[in-house]
Amino acid sequence: MFRYIDPRGYFTRVGFAFRALRAPSFRSFFWAQTVSLIGSFIQNIALGWLVYRLTSSSFLLGLVGFAGQIPGLVLMPFAGVYADRLNRRIGLLCTQVLAMALSLVMTLLILTDAVQIWHIILIALLLGSVAAFDTPFRHAFLFDMVGDRDLLSNAVAMNSTMINTARFIGPMVGGALIASVGEGWCFLINTLSYAGIVAVLATMRIATTRPKAVAKRVMEDLREGVAYSMRHPSIRYMLLLAASASLLGMPFQVFLPAFTKLVGGSAAAFGYMTSAIGAGSLTGAFFLATRKSVVRFPYMIYLCMLLFATGLLTFPIFRTVWLVIPILYLTGFGLITMFAGTNVYLQSVVDDQVRGRVIALYGMTFMGITPIGSLAMGAVSKYAGVPYTIIGGGALCLAAALLFRPQIPRIVWNARLRD
């Protein structure tokens, strides 16, 4: 006996996953930003390959990663304050123009064969400073674009889908470009990719959230945001878990060029491995976009942290690229579902007046804390080697997940009270 399955249910589910695209401003932003982010991931893979080609040093790979992300630790809390005070569209437009200019500088340095390692470190530091302001402005601006709290959680998940689509496509394209025309053209493509998002932000006309005039000092606002986050278990423990993953696990991506060389892979193989992480990340982001409720997200986030840790413990053991790729796919799924799920969860429970500051604290967990781990793991890798360094980070991530598990019922209970 056959049971009829109505295919309309499937398409309804898919349409539900993309419901935030009903908002015209967000729709324009989504497509333009996707193109720009593909360019950014093409540039990122070229940057790592360039550093290792010039220096053959895993420590300098870690140092460049540190330089690109440490500004987030210092600047992002203040950027969150300004995201709650200033016009978010204008702020986001400024960050895109600055990033475009820095990418152009790197393009010229590479294509003229003038690039040196100190140039790369300096540009990475400046790009990290721009990104420190971009993150809280971008995430807080999502609510301005969709104009509907019911669509906000989906907009956050769609934003993650956008990033991870680029994370999947960009490295594959970048690896092919490096192998065929070199790193300089990767930076040029990224420079050109900013044109669309700059045009969209410059012409967008929406009623942005205009904060009330405030007499408070920046430090007072900053302390208020930190105190708010620490006061609520549903925010505090989620931030602590994300910070643990950033410090102990996220730096593994910095060492993929060195690991690729270790297993005898080429630039194209490096691109495939990075894209495997992106494919897993994209799957996780789409999975999040189909969720209707965030109440039980802490359980899902815990399981994804376990999956991420298991991936880090496993993939460095193998020396064949095609065995590593499926493990990296699962590692990427766990990593991004955990981080993006945390973002969706926080955006759903936080009060509007402190949104920028709380999201800035969240941003610190993957931009500000990761470089400390990158630098430390870079130093350890000189003595322990890249594989054992990554495995050690995975073991510590596993321990952090197990410590987080007993707090989940309290987080869920607190979030239900705030709902």
Contact 89, 215 (CB under 8 A): no
- What dihedral do alpha carbons 249, 364, 17, 88 form, nearest 10°? -160
> Computed from CA positions of residues 296, 301, 303, 304, in that sequence, does the dihedral angle turn out positive or negative?
positive
Domains and CATH numbers, the chain: 23-213 (1.20.1250.20), 216-418 (1.20.1250.20)
Q: Which amino acid is at 233?
A: P
C-alpha 188/C-alpha 177 separation (Å) is 11
DSSP reduced 3-state for 301: helix
C-alpha 163/C-alpha 148 separation (Å) is 22
Contact 372, 100 (CB under 8 A): no
pLDDT, position 67: 85
Residues of the chain with pLDDT under 50: 1-13, 213
pLDDT, position 7: 45
Contact 206, 147 (CB under 8 A): yes
pLDDT, position 54: 87
- Return the beta strands (E) in 145-190 as ranges: none
